[in-house]
Amino acid sequence: MLTIKHYRRPLAGIAISGERARLTPEVLMKFIAPLAKKSVQIYAIGTGNSRVVFFVDEAEADKAMLLLTDAVSDSPFESVSIRRNLGMITVDGDELNNTPGILQKLTTPLAKAKIKIVSMTSPFDTITFFFDSDDAEKAYNLWSSYVPEKINVFKGAKQRVGGFIGKIIPKG
C-alpha cells in the first residue's frame, strides 16, 4: 500500500555547484560533516552532474548556509545558493518498485493541476518530492484523494490473491 506523508515544516534546499560534482570523491562527506557537527538535520540529498542539494529545516537554513559556504571555500566547488519555503511529500511503498509507470501515474495529476515539482529523490521504495510550499499543500490534497484508488497499484495483486483463494476455497 502506498503511504503519503506531508512534512508541514518549511524546508530549504541549499545547492552546492561545481564541475563534476558527482565524480568528486568524498563530496558528500565534505559537506555532511560540518552540518553534523552543528546538529543540522538533513531531510534529503539530491545530486546531479554539477550540483549537490541538501534539504534542511528552514529554521536552520542560515546556519547551514554559513557552514556550507565555509566548506565550499576549501574545495573545488564554485558556489552555494539557497531556495527557501519548500514543502516535502514522501510517497512510500513496495508498489513503487513493482508497478511500471508509477511515476507517470503520480505526476500526471500534478501536471493537470499545474503543480510544479522543484526536486525529487528516490531510494527504491520511497520517492521524496519537493514543491514550493503552496504547491506542496495542493499536491498533498490531490494525492490524498487520488492514491491508490486511481493508480490501480493493487489490481494485479488482487487478481492473483483472488485466484489463489479461489483454488483453496471452492465456491459452493
Reported as a single tens digit per residue, the pLDDT across 84-110 is: 999 999 999 888 888 888 889 899 999
Pair (93, 80) in one structural domain = no
Rg of the Cα trace of the chain?
A: 20
Pair (20, 52) in one structural domain = yes
| % of the chain at pLDDT higher than 90 | 55
Q: Domain boundary at 66, 86, 106, which?
A: 86
Which position has the higher pLDDT, 36 or 100?
A: 36
Into how many domains does the chain fold?
2
CATH number for position 129: 3.30.2130.10
Pair (53, 114) in one structural domain = no
Pair (72, 112) in one structural domain = no
Is residue 77 within 8 Å of 16, Cβ to Cβ?
yes
Who's near 43: CB < 8 A, 6+ residues apart? Answer: 7, 11, 55, 56, 57, 88
Domain span at 157: 88-162
Selection from 36-40, 95-99, 167-171 with the highest mean pLDDT:
36-40
- Please give the model's pTM, rounded to 2 decimal places: 0.81
Nearest Cα to 86, choosing from 42, 134, 41, 45? 134
Reported as a single tens digit per residue, the pLDDT across 107-139 is: 999 999 999 999 999 988 899 999 999 999 999
Rounded CA-CA distance 113/107 in Å is: 10
Rounded CA-CA distance 90/126 in Å is: 7
